[in-house]
Amino acid sequence: MKMCKAQLVIAGLFVSAQALLAQNVKLANIALGMTETEVKTALASNAPFYANQVSDYPDMHYLVAETELESYVFTFIDGKTAALSVVHILPPEQLPFLPPGQQPTVSILRVLITKQTWTPAEINRGDTWWFSDASGAPLSSTEQCRPESGVAWLPFGPVPGAKPGEPPAKSAKGLMKPSSTLYPSNCGVSIHLNLTPAESEDSVATSVRYQVLDIKAMNAFLAKHRQH
């Protein structure tokens, strides 16, 4: 079966997640630590629409990348990716990373990612969280890396459309940016996976969202600004 570009990236999420360890977190062809040029090279085959947005800090900015079935927000600190938010809309046809006839249920998709990562710190229906400590070792509880403000991620919006006056791609709904908040000093990376709908483990997911944060980078960034 010939795969469209979006299916290739979605498939990559589930079969190329073996590098999701320590602070070298990589999902499909995108990773923490990438520069904006490296990000655009990694996404070039998808031909997304790009938009840059500033933040409240001179050394932090955002890059939005949109296609109809997948959208991204990259948060750059000092020119390096410190966080990323991704939304994939799963098409209704057979997905290339699943056996023929198998549907992308909540349990099946979660198991696929967990096999490539480590035991989640918490599972709550369609939401799954992974954490590592500052050395890269997995953590078993979300309580160990709770943000100081209590809020880890915020809605990104507004997201621009590809052309003036046009709405953003449907996959742009749900994009997030990290909250500028401190975490305990021993925390390394957090990953939050959201699958919807998720009324039960057998619910067929139509949307995959995940957020990845380099907590060490965020803590260092905030510490630098609090000294000034």
Residue 202 DSSP code: T
Residues facing residue 31 across a β-bridge = 26
Instruction: Please state whether 125 falls in left (phi above 0), alpha (psi between -120 and 50) or beta.
Output: left
pTM: predicted TM-score of the whole model, two decimal places: 0.88
Which class for 150: exposed (0-12), middle (13-18), buried (19 or more C-beta within 10 A)? exposed
pLDDT at 164: 80
Residues 20-46 pLDDT 10s: 443 455 566 788 999 999 999 999 888
Residues 61-105 pLDDT 10s: 999 999 988 999 999 999 999 999 999 999 888 888 889 999 999
- Using the predicted structure, report yes or no on whether residue 151 has a pLDDT greater than 90: yes
In whole angstroms, what is the distance from residue 128 CA to residue 31 CA?
19
